[in-house]
Structures are given as structure tokens and as C-alpha cells.
Chain A
């Protein structure tokens, strides 16, 4: 099973709302990732968690707040977003140590900020 599950599939929110994106994997992977993808652009790395600790933050604005409650779950908390934050948000996981960093992606959450 190489499935990464993301919920919700679609999300519409206002600029004053608070919402959360969720990601789950049951492959025993030790690393989990958040990416942002705009239309016709490649995915851009936002955050990396390794062994449930934040290891990489690609200078993402604080209105995006990641959380890793346990080794299977990854959340992205959203607050006071801007319309330009509308994008496809992708979660991925990889096995980690000794692996060649093959990442398995979820189907993404399509976010629209009004």
C-alpha cells in the first residue's frame, strides 16, 4: 500500500477563516512533506517533518502552520490567507534513512481563498 490520503479534496475559505488540511499515511514512513502547486507550475516545497520534528521550513509565511501529531498524520493549519494562496496543496511521505528519497504523494487539496 503506497497511499497518502489528504482531506478535504476541495476547500473554499475567506481571508478571515481558520481551516486545516489533513494528511495521513500508513506506510511507516518517517518523513512527511507539504508542497504548494500553482496552475501549470511544479510543486514547491513548503515544510518537511522528519521523525515528527520540523526539519525544513522553506521560509513559508506564518499564516501557514504545520503540525505533526504522530508519525502517520500531518496537518497544515491555515489562518488569514490571501487570495494568492489559492493553489493545490500536496502532502507526501518517504521512507527515510537509507532510502533514496522516493516520495509518495496524495491527490492534494484544492484550496480557494476568497
Chain B
């Protein structure tokens, strides 16, 4: 599985749009890009998954360029409750996924 690299931490303010970029230079053809959110003392929660171009759901958008070597998670109009760790990882139809170090997002009032 391809290794992912993302910023260790980010700060933003309530109401702002937050973009977290993840690098996955060695992504394979059959790999998908998946993002999870984790609050303290809880399990990770699936946010969004994509293969190419743009995916949007009720929580976030995921932008993937044509070369698929990076991806950007976009959280619109964040609130204090979006303070969490966000993990980017690649996954495929195999069972194993590997979590990277994640990005600690801190939303300020």
C-alpha cells in the first residue's frame, strides 16, 4: 500500500473552509483514496472516498488530480466540533489499510 504524507497539524477559524492536502506518490492503479476523522477516545469515522476527479457528500469534498499523486479534503464552513485528527490513506479490495500520522485540525472560535 502506498505511503501517505499529510501536514501534522493545522489551525483554522469557525466558518472558514479548510483544505487538507495529502501526498501519495506511489498510489497503485487499483487504490482508492479514503479519509477518516477521529475524535479523542473514539474510533475513526469514515468521511469520504474517491478514485479520481471530485467527490462530494454531505460532510466534505475530495479533490483528486489526474495523476492521483495527491488529494485534498475540503471541509466547508468548519465549526468547533470539527476539531479532530484527519487521516488520509489509500485502500483497495485487500483487507489491509495502513494509517499514516494524520493531521490534527484545531478549529478556533
Q: Can you give 5 A-B contacts (C-beta < 8 A)? A: A42-B99, A56-B96, A88-B41, A92-B43, A100-B32
Assess the B41–A110 pair: CB atoms within 8 A: yes
Is the Cβ of A101 less than 8 Å from the Cβ of B43?
A: no
Report which A residues bind B (CB closer than 8 A): 4, 31, 33, 42-45, 48, 50, 55-56, 88, 90-92, 94, 96-108, 110
Smallest Cβ distance from B16 to chain A, in angstroms? 25
Most buried by A among B34, B49, B96, B100: B96
Which B residues are CB-close (under 8 A) to A90? Answer: 43-44
Contact A97 B41 (CB under 8 A): no
CB-CB < 8 A to A42: which residues of B? Answer: 87, 99-102
Residues of B within 8 A of A99 (CB): 93
B→A interface (CB under 8 Å): 32, 34, 41-46, 49, 87, 91-102
A110 to B41, CA, bound (A): 8
Bound state CA distance, A55 and B46, in angstroms? 23
Chain B residues closer than 8 Å to A4, beta-carbon distance:
43
